[in-house]
Amino acid sequence: MLRRHFLAEGAGLAAAGPVTQANAADAPTLTGPYIDLTTGKGNMNLRARMAGDLDESKVKYGSVTGIVSGVRPGEKVKDLFGFEVVSVGRNER
């Protein structure tokens, strides 16, 4: 099993388990010695670690499309414009 798959599945299992007083000390938290998920920088680091690869020659491609909508009180939701984003990324040391 790849490391990132293990982390993703383990995080889901840890979040799904009930927390009691007996295991409250072992309950998952949002802060740790290396990553603090209560900050934007911590979330960015986690995302890079899970989606990234240590091989600097590998490139990750991504894209997303969507519609930006506007809302005014007493009016219907109105589509303003569409967007499309294409990204290319590579982790470096």
pLDDT tens profile 16-56: 555 555 555 667 778 878 788 888 888 888 887 887 777 77
The pLDDT of residue 83: 95
Confirm if 81 and 66 have CB atoms less than 8 A apart. Answer: no
Regarding whether 79 and 46 lie in a shared domain, the answer is no
At 4 the pLDDT is 56
DSSP state of 88: E
Number of domains in the chain: 2
Q: Are residues 36 and 76 in the same domain?
A: no
pLDDT of residue 1: 47
Specify whether 68 is located in the same domain as 46: no
Pick the more confident residue, 91 or 5.
91
According to DSSP, residue 31 is labeled B
Tell the residue number behind the tokens 């990132």, with chain if given: 4
**Do 7 and 45 sit in the same domain of this protein?**
yes
- Tell if the pTM clears 0.85, that is, is over it: no
For residues 67-79, average pLDDT: 95
> Do residue 10 and residue 43 come from a single domain?
yes
Question: CA triplet 35, 30, 46: central angle to 5 degrees?
Answer: 40
Residues 75, 34 share a domain: no
